[in-house]
Structure 1
Amino acid sequence: MRQKLKIVSAFLCGAIFFSGVSYAADNYLKAFPIKNSKIIINGSETVFDDPVVSINNRLYVPLKEFGQETGFSVSPGAIIQIEKFEKLPITITRDDVTITLNSLNKIDGKVQLNITIKNDSDKRVKVDLSRIRADDNIKGRKSYTTSASYFFTPINDNWSITTKRFLDELIDSNSEVTGTIQIASISKGTKNIHFYFESHSVPTSFPFYVDTEGLF
């Protein structure tokens, strides 16, 4: 008899609990799919795998798919990070260190990235390219990583070259250098590339989100 009472009690508690959830959902979180509507982004119609819905008269779209269609990188997690892929040149300044990605070109069949680093800090700094990720958050395409090698070019005649490898040496205070990074391989039709530079000298990071549509 006690067992039956336990089962009935559990059933009633569950029924009351879920009724409350249902009531709350009906009043606050009820989603209405937007039917027979066209989604036009930059003049072109697109279709999301997940539905666009209205909740409390507010429109909700699938964030990852929206990013794929509009040129944003969407990184899920405890902190959702959204970054816009942009055309070169792109400049980022952190802690008195400025990195500019000048151009990305295919020369003699090899992809080369030209960059300038300006050190306005009061100490010598070193900058490293730690990661290259391509086709990030592109619908229907798998992202991939690649590597790079470096070629050193002085910005002017006053810069003394101690190595032939770009970024291998510390950059003096109030100095500026330009160099070329040769990318190991870029797949045909690559839509974007994420270049991630970091400096343990400062320390800080320089994430670049580059729109490469039509370049490869």
Structure 2
Amino acid sequence: MKKIGMGFICGAIFFTGISASASNLTAETKDYQLFIDDKEQVLRDKPISIQGRIDLPVREVAEAVGYEVAFENGTIQLRSNRNDEKKEGTTSSGRNVKLEKIPITQKLKDVEVTVHAIRLTASTTDFEVTVKNNTDDENITVDLLSTRVEANNNVAGKPSETVGIAPVNPDFGTVTIKPKKEIHGWVSTKGLVEKNIGNIAFRLTLRGNSEKRTFTFHIDCKDMKFRTL
């Protein structure tokens, strides 16, 4: 399996396109691995090869390096999260952030997410969350395939570890949160090898009627009492 490496992305992200009038072109998906700063990013949509050129999914790659993506009036907008740049601490992408103790609540465009607790098991890392849909007319679902957890970033003596969603998620797998409603449950990601955790970055993406909202929680796990089964 081939690997695609990206050392850094600065300022803007550029992706090439194909003219609508082009003919006799063959596109095929490729099982390429994408690495950003030597860390693998699992893509939901596979890269596409067109005449020897590799096209990547804009939204997934942009979000992996800290950009929000929106489609507005026929244009693709990429925006960095400047609030993160003003906080203290460090993330794997080099932006400054502040580690916080749970419970942590974040709000974005009339949707509110709270992380209440973290549970460690032999096979999963589970997050107890509440999602409140305060919109007037949007149905909200959890985009589980975009969920990512990074543990022990820049913790001395411990390698950082990144995992994606666990195979089983009964609380949020098929749930739609109606306007002015909320749901409480557990989001399960794959288990972490290291159980002595100094910090966790938990990314949760929600889908609305026309856009996605991505919440990233930078959690201080020092002296935390993790839940167990």
TM-score by length of 1: 0.53
Q: Which of 146, 152, 155 is residue 135 of structure 1 equivalent to?
A: 152
How far is 1:107 from its partner?
6.5
Please state which structure has a larger fraction of its residues in helix: 1
Is 1:208 aligned to 2:217, yes or no?
yes
> What is the DSSP-based 3-state SS (H/G/I as helix, E as strand, rest coil) of the residue aligned with 1:73?
coil
How far is 1:73 from its partner?
2.2
Is 1:115 aligned to 2:129, yes or no?
yes
* Bigger Rg over Cα: 1
Unpaired segments of 5 or more residues in structure 2? 1-87
CA contact (8 A) 1:86 1:211 kept: yes
Question: For residues 197 and 151 of structure 1, do their structure 2 counterparts lie closer, same or farther at Cα, with a shift above 3 Å needed?
Answer: same
Q: What does 1:43-192 correspond to in 2, within 5 Å?
A: 72-75=89-92, 81-106=95-120, 111-122=125-136, 123-129=138-144, 130-147=147-164, 148=166, 149-152=168-171, 166-186=172-192, 187-192=194-199
CA contact (8 A) 2:207 2:213 kept: yes
The separation in 2 between residues aligned to 1:110 and 1:124, in whole angstroms, is 28
The separation in 1 between residues aligned to 2:148 and 2:217, in whole angstroms, is 11
Question: For residues 180 and 75 of structure 1, do their structure 2 counterparts lie closer, same or farther at Cα, with a shift above 3 Å needed?
Answer: closer
How far is 1:111 from its partner?
4.3
Larger mean CA deviation between 127-136 and 86-95 belongs to 127-136
CA contact (8 A) 2:117 2:127 kept: yes
CA contact (8 A) 2:113 2:129 kept: yes
> What is the DSSP-based 3-state SS (H/G/I as helix, E as strand, rest coil) of the residue aligned with 1:198?
strand
TM-score by length of 2: 0.50
How far is 1:75 from its partner?
4.8
Identity of aligned residues (%): 28
CA contact (8 A) 2:92 2:153 kept: no
**Which residue does 2:35 correspond to in 1?**
none
CA contact (8 A) 2:133 2:181 kept: yes
Q: Which of 187, 203, 213 is residue 196 of structure 1 equivalent to?
A: 203
Unpaired segments of 5 or more residues in structure 1? 1-70, 153-165
